[in-house]
Structure 1
């Protein structure tokens, strides 16, 4: 009986009906005819409600539903979720589906309303975009069913306590991999880099295609084949690349829902996958105030799983990162000259100058690329027209920050350190561009 009462709900139509009856009873106090009409309507309401409850509860378990979740969600990307529903009522039903989302989304009114023909099956799809890594717990899937009378609803509950982990953006990683394999990276903003000379390994001889470098024509093969033939080269392989991620408090700054750390993590996963696709060795280093962790560089495709699992657990420690400890750690762990992609964020020239001697020492042994971020929150201020003294002051400060970022780039370049100053949203594309550029120039 308790279970029955818990699953029955009164609708707005019922309360409107009851309210109308109450008004008629009040009027019946002054005009008896309204009182008689109120009693008739009250009896009709009781009969209709009993019929409604019987229609909804007599068939037993007349609704089957399930929430179909992927094995894991991709951080920062829209992830598809599907609700499948089948009902066996012999009449058209009204539906109100409330899906209890994880608390990280802060949504308490995620519902779908509609109707469904007799004994039909349907699927409802929606997308969720998580902005934090970790375990997400879904609550119950609540289905509220009403008959054509619409006075009451019956509740069904399914799929309680489903959990799914949110990993770094593997959707973005697969997207870049697909374009890299099909040689269409320029379609998503990856620049086509002109190769300087022939510093690559010989791959094969193939037919000439319009656009090929005429200096690559193999005249002996052309004479034998009777058609223009060119030498095709491939990039040197087994080169070592490390993504080095600063987990200090400077990476806690949020942009469009994601922290800078999450942008760096997503980019590291994407560039590691591209490096492994190019048959280079990819590794990972994270550092903060307390210590450093390393995933040694390897070229096996299965190594990407190790990098992904390590990135899943990375978090900031809200402290100032220790670059001296990073320098000592890298000297002891990395003996081969490598490409170092350092994800950090310099807010001022002074903060960069304190770390510059360490960066110079790293650049003397490795090819160092320092990656930091444009503050996109300042864009509106920089483009606005100030109308008061306060707005002039705020815009001046914004221009100062913007000027200092460009000054940091120039100072690092003067000391032989490659740089990427990028919007957080463009981080992965700009990082892959730089990686392909350095390989094309034979600098790695």
Structure 2
């Protein structure tokens, strides 16, 4: 049974059969070709048996290994390397099939190559998950054939390996490296000049053009006989909370990824940057009920706690209760904090229903309301209308875009910080706003 399960006919064999059939057909008009065709059949049969002997005379002469990471990063390209080798004493042609998880909906994965005796090779492919959870990779299958390419032998390796897909770890690491080297401007983050005295004193340094003259230290200037200024840095260990709305408004997908997952990826990347800048970070999820809550702590290992809580968050079909959010924040967050609220409003009436609760939150805390541009509507607006129906659709789309701007202006009128962003630019704009608030000393 093992032999039958591993035994396959190569496609080239059927080409040989087609040639022989053509010979028999032609022999109807060319009789001399008829005995030649029978000789060719006997030759093919001998080669068929010889090919079986070549492939099955030894044991497992082909090996392959798939190296999966411990965690996959959601919404990112994750490389999956595969190494394979052959111990056959002849040139081996291999076809590698990896049974990908059903979430990817890919059933045509195949990699073909050839190997000399004892040769070892490696290739990698990328997968981009768009949902968190467990992904099961099936069998790693290798079909080997000899230079005759008449039959194939099937080898099966690494059955059913499960890998969890976590929030975007790759994106978090990307901003992490840039934050350590103070190179956040390379990915579009604004460079903000820090001024004023609402920050912690760091050192006294020589005056250079561009420094605020109000920070001149006259005593140090008299001692050094040159202008010296006080240098300040951001106040540290301030509590910052990412609050994620898990209601139905966060189910909308853009580029295959739900708004909730954009918010989760941004929370992870932002929390890492804030921790590296010595602030306390925490998170809270809410909808009709209160979800996971992580108190703000200034500890790098605290990021793992946030990551595990974010992994299990999912959207609900109900409308979120902002009154419950206000009561929860009032009870659990006693110190003045920076609250980053990830939510979405598609209509100005939806904002007005929740505005009293947002104003109540903004009285004690620095509240930043983050909501999203509808990029699909932007594409519709950018296209030319070809008929009356197209004009109608563009008009409605422009109306929704204007309403988004009106919501942003209305929140600012009440002193509430806002971020209106495209989903893919969420992390960059969130970190920008954090740096701006720290620079202005609003917290």
Give how far 1:380 is off.
2.0
Work out the CA distance in 2 between the residues paired with 1:280 and 1:392.
Answer: 50
Q: Which runs of 5+ in 1 are unaligned?
A: none
CA distance in structure 2 between the partners assigned to 1:281 and 1:232 by the alignment: 23
State the partner residue of 1:199.
198
User: SS in structure 2 opposite 1:64?
Assistant: strand
Please state how far the C-alpha of 1:181 moved relative to its aligned partner.
Answer: 1.1
Task: Say if 2:132 is the partner of 1:168.
Answer: no
> What is the SS of the residue equivalent to 1:308?
helix
Match of 1:342, SS state, is strand
Q: For each residue in 1:356-391, what CA deviation from the matched residue of structure 2 results, as whole angstroms up to 9, or x when unmatched?
A: 111111111111110000000112221222121111
Give how far 1:304 is off: 0.7
Quote the Cα distance in structure 1 between the aligned partners of 2:254 and 2:308.
24
Match of 2:336?
337
Deviates more, 1:411-420 or 1:199-208: 199-208
Tell me, yes or no, if the aligned pair for 1:252 and 1:260 is still in contact at 8 Å.
yes
Residue 299 in 1 paired to residue 298 in 2? yes
Q: Contact (CA 8 Å) 2:341, 2:367: kept in 1 or not?
A: yes
Say if 2:7 and 2:154, in contact at 8 Å, map to a contact too: yes
C-alpha displacement of 1:22: 2.6
Aligned equivalents of 1:384 and 1:217: distance in 2?
56
Structure 1 stretch 221-230 or stretch 14-23: which is displaced more? Answer: 221-230
**Alpha-carbon distance, 1:219 to partner:** 6.1
Change in Cα spacing, 1:51 to 1:394, as seen in structure 2 (3 Å) is same
The residue that corresponds to 1:181 in the other structure is 180
In structure 2, relative to structure 1, the CA distance for the partners of 1:362 and 1:47 (3 Å cut) is: same
Distance (whole Å) between structure 2 residues aligned to residue 53 and residue 17 of structure 1: 16
Question: Structure 1 40/401 Cα, relative in aligned 2: closer, same or farther at 3 Å?
Answer: same
Judge which range, 291-300 or 434-443, deviates more: 291-300
Residue pairs, 1:184-333, within 5 angstroms: 184-206=183-205, 213=212, 216=215, 218=217, 230-333=229-332
Alignment partner, residue 16 of structure 2: 17
1:411-443: CA deviations, max 9, x gaps? Answer: 111111111000000000000000110011110
Q: CA deviation at 1:323?
A: 1.1
Hey, what's the Cα distance between the residues in 1 that align with 2:182 and 2:213?
A: 21
Q: Is 1:7 matched up with 2:6?
A: yes
Question: SS at 1:178's partner residue?
Answer: helix
Deviation larger for 3-12 or 339-348: 3-12
Output the TM-score relative to the length of structure 1: 0.95
Looking at structure 2, the residues matched to 100 and 321 of structure 1 have their Cα atoms a distance apart, in angstroms, of 39
Q: Tell me the CA shift for residue 229 of structure 1.
A: 5.7
Q: Which moved more, 1:137-146 or 1:21-30?
A: 21-30
- Secondary structure of 1:9 counterpart: strand
**CA apart distance, 1:198:** 2.5
Provide the residue aligned with 1:379 in structure 2.
378
Inter-CA distance 433–229: structure 2 relative to 1 (3 Å threshold): same
How far 1:34 moved relative to its partner? Answer: 2.8
Secondary structure of 1:434's counterpart equals helix
Cα contact 1:240–1:338 (8 A) shared by 2 = yes
Q: C-alpha displacement at 1:250, in angstroms?
A: 0.6
Q: 1:398 to 1:39 in 2, by over 3 A?
A: same
| Cα distance in 2 for residues equivalent to 1:109 and 1:219 | 74
How far apart are 1:291 and its partner, in Å? 3.1
- Counterpart of 2:135 in structure 1 is 136
Number of aligned residues: 443
Whole-Å separation in 1 of the counterparts to 2:413 and 2:225: 51
Q: Secondary structure of 2:185's partner? A: helix
Q: Secondary structure at the match of 2:235?
A: coil
1:127-156 CA distance string (max 9 Å, x none): 111111011100011111111111111111
- C-alpha change, 1:46 and 1:222, in structure 2 (3 Å) is farther
The CA distance in 2 between the partners of 1:211 and 1:69, in whole Å, is 51
Q: Show CA shifts across 1:36-74 (max 9, x none).
A: 122111111111111211111212111111100111011
Structure 1, 228-237 or 408-417: larger mean CA deviation: 228-237
Distance in 2, matches of 1:89 and 1:414, equals 76
Q: CA RMSD in A?
A: 1.8
Please state how far the C-alpha of 1:231 moved relative to its aligned partner.
3.5
Q: List gaps (5 residues or longer) in structure 2.
A: none
Change (3 A) 1:4 1:378: same
